[in-house]
Amino acid sequence: MTMEVGAMFRHELTGSFSEGSDANPTVAMVEASYRASGLHFRYVNCEVRPDQLGDAVAGARAMNWKGFNCSIPHKVEVIKHLDGLGESAAVIGAVNCAVNRDGKFIGENTDGKGFLMSFMEVADPKGKAVVLLGAGGAARAIAVELALAGASKFYVVNRGTSRGEELTKLLNDKTNAKAEFVEWSNTYAIPTDAEVLINATSMGMAGASELQDIDFTSIRKGMLVADVIVNPPHTPFLQKAEEQGAVTLQGLGMVVNQAVISIKYWTGKDVDPSALRDELIRVL
């Protein structure tokens, strides 16, 4: 890549704002991709508390960052600090990627797009009935993208009633899918008509001991069971699903795909996913 001499000493900046950022491996794979692609960019993993989020966005604005990712717990709250939203982010009501477009930070959502790309490699969502564990930012993004791709029915299973009912209403009002809310107050058995089970909660992350309170024996042979957790790649949730004969989908593909999409937003370049995947597997 050719570069003006004057630009050698300044990188274009990107990064991530989250709480619990020590466990987020995105920085390793994005930096690996920048190096492999000859992009004069850097990615900084930032620990940002909820009460610091506005200041963090203002700081990125002042330093002319090209964009940033938002992770737990900022995906919804960040919207008030941005200048606008892309189409899917507006429907989903959550942002995981902000892009600097002519000095304005526009919120996009690559969570669902990354998951859908990964999902389509093993199955077509058209006409499928889906059980979704969780109703946070990632769950909203995944549900909307699957519904737009033709999934017909959703069971939204969540401990909190307000978030669960909100996502259910969103799917019923803004997509062609039918959705039903299930309050997750005791051990949940997978309905007999469900063909897909997705964990979109943070349960199962490295260092966490909590396992999803579901009846794993209700998972039928051949069901597609997916997890959004990346670290560890093969979660206890997926292991137990495989014991029941399920086809499993790790969170790795979703994370790699969404990073590829983010890099395209920030740099304008299409990058090879293999550099990101290889580095992600190496660090994990």
pLDDT digits (tens, 9 = 90+) for 221-257: 999 999 999 888 899 999 999 999 999 999 999 999 9
**Residue from 66, 75, 113, 128 carrying the catalytic annotation:** 75
Nearest alpha carbon to residue 127 among 194, 189, 172, 174: 194
User: Has this prediction a pTM greater than 0.95?
Assistant: no
C-alpha to C-alpha distance for 66 and 60, rounded to whole angstroms: 8
Q: In which region does residue 221 sit, left (phi positive, over 0), alpha (psi from -120 to 50) or beta (all else)?
A: beta
Residue 191 DSSP one-character state: P
Q: For 36, phi and psi rounded to 5 degrees?
A: -65, -30
Flag whether pLDDT at 45 surpasses 60.
Answer: yes
Q: Which residue intervals of 63-196 are DSSP H helices?
A: 87-92, 111-120, 137-148, 161-174
Which domains can be identified in the chain, with CATH numbers?
Answer: 5-109+255-283 (3.40.50.10860), 112-250 (3.40.50.720)
| Residue whose C-alpha is closest to residue 94's, from 142, 51, 37, 42 | 142
**Angle at 217 (CA atoms; ends 225, 163), nearest 5 degrees:** 55
C-alpha–C-alpha distance, residues 42 and 150, integer Å: 37
Q: How many residues does the structure list for the chain?
A: 284
122 pLDDT band, cuts 50/70/90, is very high
Q: CA-CA distance, 28 to 115, in Å (whole number)?
A: 20
Tell me the pLDDT band of 205, cut-offs 50, 70 and 90: confident
pLDDT of residue 220: 97
| Mean pLDDT along residues 10-24 | 93
- Reply yes or no on whether 269 is catalytic: no
Locate the DSSP E strands across the chain.
12-18, 41-47, 67-70, 84-85, 97-101, 104-108, 129-133, 153-158, 178-183, 196-199, 224-227, 247-249
CA 32, 34, 40, 46 torsion: positive or negative? negative
pLDDT of residue 3: 55
End-to-end alpha-carbon separation of the chain, Å?
A: 30
Residue that wins the pLDDT comparison between 97 and 209: 97
Sheet containing 84-85, strands listed edge to edge, beginning at the edge strand earlier in sequence: 41-47, 12-18, 67-70, 97-101, 104-108, 84-85
Judged by average pLDDT, the poorest of 3-17, 37-51, 153-167 is: 3-17
Confidence of residue 46 (pLDDT cuts 50, 70, 90): very high
pLDDT at 225: 98
